[in-house]
Each structure stands twice: as structure tokens, then as C-alpha cells.
Amino acid sequence: MSSNKSLLQKINTRIAMSAVGAQIMARTMHHLDRLVLRMSNGRATATTLLAGLQVLNLTTIGTKSGQPRTVPLLAIPFADNQLVIIASNWGQQKNPAWYYNIVAHPEVTVTRDGRSQTYLARETDSDERAACWQAALETYPGYAAYERRTSRRIPVILLTPAKN
């Protein structure tokens, strides 16, 4: 964990890494993130305030509904203006719904710092997955705990800016 985090942020990160904390956070954080985003006019999220982690809003097209679906996720910067997102679902046994949405519709919209951009999403594999996973662990070590708690292979998604 980064040393520039406050004590409260470090404590909250440790709680989120625990099995019980992850279960609670899986059911509450996206609601809190959306509330804080609304209250701050898109400048902050609960995750940023509580854990010192940068969050993006990922908008996908629902696989079944065909409707836009937006979810706040941890933003992991990567090479060439790319971003990595991890379908950890807090270490639960099922992939998050947004994962299936991007498999069906890989063109997504990412909103960060009040700006939106179109990206193409794809699941990584092999050496690329290892490099993206390492970047994720450097950003948030809790992913390792989530990986230990689940029997599934956690999908690692690379977002590449679309050429407009």
C-alpha cells in the first residue's frame, strides 16, 4: 500500500481485503461511490476518500437488457493511456455482471475526473495478463486476497482508447 495514504485509508483498505469486509463492501461500496460522485459533481468517490484509490465509471451495454449500465471500478493506469480493470467481484465465486457485458459488447465508455472517453475492452492472457495483474497488485494488494478466496480465475481486462 502506498505510504501517502492516511491511517484511515490504510485501515479501510485492510478491512476491504478481509473476507467479511469484502462481503460488506461488495454490497455497499458501489452505492456509496455513486452517492459521493453525485454529491461531488463527479470529482470524488467513496473509495477514493476511504481507501485512497482512484475510481473510474465504466459504462457498458447490458447483455440481456441492451441498456447502458454504469459501475464504479478501481482504475489501474497502464501503458499507452490504457487502463486495467479487474473482474474480482471482491473474491466472490462468480464474475461480476459487467464482465459479461464487456464480453458481449467490448466498446465501453470510461468516465474519470469528469471526462468521458470510449475504450475497447478485452480480456488479457499469458504474459500480458501477468503484467496487468502485477500493476493491479501494486495499485491494490487486496486483489491477491480475493484471488485466494475464489476458485475461479479472475479476469483481467485491458481497456485501450478507441480511435475516434
- Which DSSP category does 148 fall into? H
88-99 residue pLDDT tens:
998 999 999 999
The answer to whether residue 23 scores a pLDDT higher than 60 is yes
Residue 2's pLDDT band, with cuts at 50, 70 and 90, is very low
**pLDDT for res 43:** 67
The answer to whether residue 61 scores a pLDDT higher than 90 is yes
The answer to whether residue 1 scores a pLDDT higher than 60 is no
* Geometric angle at alpha carbon 121, from 12 and 34, rounded to 5°: 40
Question: How far apart are the C-alpha atoms of 15 and 45, rounded to whole Å?
Answer: 18
Burial class (CB in 10 A: 0-12, 13-18, 19+), 73: buried
Cell (9 digits) for 37: 460522485
Residue 55's pLDDT band, with cuts at 50, 70 and 90, is confident
State the Cα torsion 142-146-148-152 to the nearest 10°.
-150
132-151 residue pLDDT tens:
999 999 998 889 999 999 99
138 versus 33: the higher-pLDDT residue is 138
CATH code of domain 7-161: 2.30.110.10
**pLDDT for res 155:** 98
Looking at every residue in the chain, the average pLDDT score rounds to: 87
